């Protein structure tokens, strides 16, 4: 069925005969202006190539079909009531002719085709009139030729109902905009509260950090200095090869507070220096220790008002791996 239709179209085309021609068009959106209500008037003047059937040449409002094919488009001109208002050539850009108020003109020419696009913001009575699109060019034999087509742009005064509808629409838009402003204001207020709360937290943390920095630490004697009731210090557990208490790889350390507490404080421990050593290659283990995991820990064992005892522990049972150094910092905070 598709082939039959295609052959019929070819037959009709061969019987009627076709030729290349130029088509000039002029379109307007809208075609009737309502002052105040119409936000934009758009007018397009264009020349295009087209294959037309030989026979009578058609012409309708805004469109003109010809048997002549323009090979080189020289210019496009838009006129209102016989007066030029915009133009474009291959040598000059699209532009308004004279003072045309809010008119904005764009366009281009490419060999035998081109267009002019005219836009008015909030057009009024001054845009009313007979608009003409004129194309000037040269055909294949070197003759100059000119085509034109026209249309009317009318003006219709808005009715009371139209104006009331516009006011209602604007009122709704203002209401929607006010709701958005209120939502943004509420969001900003919430964000300001969060910023204020975070500022309070930051200030408190800065004070805590400053207080901790003023704590004097004695690395050699493992004794503690006190600032108020907060005390701190550093504990060195040494080399794990020397840890053989209770037959495991661990050692206990005892710290005496420089100033006793009235009640047992809370102790915080944290490793600060850890050096691991291996006497063999990684991946080579003693027999029976292929799945061992090297790990370490520091933990508080007991606390009193005068001091505390802590433990350094290494989880490895292999003689290959050890810790050559394990230091822990501590802070005591009264409850």
Q: Where are the alpha helices (DSSP H) in the chain?
A: 2-16, 160-213
For the four alpha carbons of 79, 83, 86 and 88, in that order, the dihedral sign comes to positive
Instruction: Return the SS3 of 58.
Output: coil
Domains of the chain: 16-155 (2.60.40.10), 225-280+292-333 (2.60.40.2080)
- pLDDT at 266 (0 to 100): 93
The token pair at 56 is 């009578």
Q: How far is 96 from 118, CA to CA, in rounded Å?
A: 9
**b/e map of 239-259 (b: 16 or more CB within 10 Å)?**
ebeebeeeeebbbebebebee
The token pair at 24 is 């000039």
Residues 185, 177: contact at Cβ < 8 Å?
no
CA-to-CA dists, residue 203 to 25, 191, 245, 331, angstroms: 72, 18, 45, 21
Q: How far is 22 from 307, CA to CA, in rounded Å?
A: 103
- pLDDT at 31 (0 to 100): 84
CA-to-CA dists, residue 122 to 103, 168, 179, 213, 258, angstroms: 10, 19, 28, 69, 85
For the four alpha carbons of 178, 179, 184 and 190, in that order, the dihedral sign comes to positive
- pLDDT at 201 (0 to 100): 80
Instruction: Return the SS3 of 68.
Output: coil
Cα angle 332, 274, 213; round to 5: 35
Q: How far is 120 from 155, CA to CA, in rounded Å?
A: 14
The token pair at 193 is 């509260």
pLDDT, one tens digit for every residue, the chain (335 residues): 333 222 223 233 334 445 567 888 999 988 888 888 888 899 999 988 876 544 444 444 455 555 677 889 999 999 999 999 999 999 999 999 988 888 999 999 988 889 999 998 888 888 888 999 999 999 888 888 888 899 998 888 877 777 777 777 778 888 888 888 888 888 898 888 888 878 888 887 788 787 777 654 444 444 444 444 899 999 998 888 777 655 667 889 999 999 999 999 999 999 887 877 766 544 433 444 444 556 788 999 999 999 999 999 887 666 666 778 889 999 999 98
30: cis peptide before it, omega within 30°? yes
Among residues 309, 303, 312, 232, the alpha carbon closest in space to that of 273 is found at 312
- pLDDT at 156 (0 to 100): 85
Residues 118, 86: contact at Cβ < 8 Å?
yes
Mapping DSSP onto H, E and C, the string for 285-297 reads: CCCCCCCCCCCEE
- pTM for this predicted structure: 0.44
- pLDDT at 119 (0 to 100): 92
- pLDDT at 4 (0 to 100): 28
For the four alpha carbons of 225, 227, 229 and 231, in that order, the dihedral sign comes to negative
């Amino acid at each position: 069925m598709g082939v039959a239709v295609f052959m019929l179209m070819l037959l009709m085309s061969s019987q009627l005969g076709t030729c290349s021609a130029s088509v000039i068009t002029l379109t307007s959106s809208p075609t009737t202006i309502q002052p105040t209500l119409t936000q934009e008037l758009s007018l397009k003047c264009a020349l295009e190539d087209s294959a037309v059937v030989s026979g009578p040449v058609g012409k309708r409002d805004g469109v003109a079909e010809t048997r002549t094919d323009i090979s080189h488009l020289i210019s496009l001109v838009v006129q209102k009531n016989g007066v030029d208002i915009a133009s474009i050539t291959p040598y000059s850009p699209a532009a308004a002719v004279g003072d045309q108020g809010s008119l904005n003109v764009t366009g281009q020419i490419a060999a035998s085709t081109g267009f002019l696009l005219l836009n008015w913001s909030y057009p009024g009575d001054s845009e009313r009139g007979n608009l003409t699109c004129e194309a000037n060019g040269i055909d294949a034999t070197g003759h100059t030729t000119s085509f034109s087509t026209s249309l009317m742009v009318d003006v219709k005064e808005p009715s009371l109902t139209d104006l009331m509808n516009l006011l209602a629409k604007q009122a709704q838009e203002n209401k929607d905009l006010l709701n958005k402003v209120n939502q943004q204001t509420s969001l900003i207020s919430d964000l300001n509260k969060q910023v204020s709360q975070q500022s309070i937290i930051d200030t408190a943390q800065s004070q805590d950090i400053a207080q901790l920095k003023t704590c004097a630490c004695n690395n050699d004697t493992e004794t503690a200095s006190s600032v108020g009731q907060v005390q701190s210090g550093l504990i060195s557990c040494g080399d794990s090869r020397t840890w053989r208490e209770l037959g495991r790889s661990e050692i206990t350390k005892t710290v005496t507070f420089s100033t006793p507490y009235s009640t047992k404080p809370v102790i915080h421990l944290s490793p600060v220096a850890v050096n691991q050593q291996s006497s063999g290659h990684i991946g080579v283990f003693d027999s029976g220790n292929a799945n061992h995991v090297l790990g370490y820990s520091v933990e508080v064992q007991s606390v009193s008002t005068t001091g505390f005892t802590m433990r350094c522990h290494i989880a490895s049972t292999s003689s290959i791996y050890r810790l050559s150094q394990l230091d822990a910092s501590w802070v005591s905070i009264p409850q």
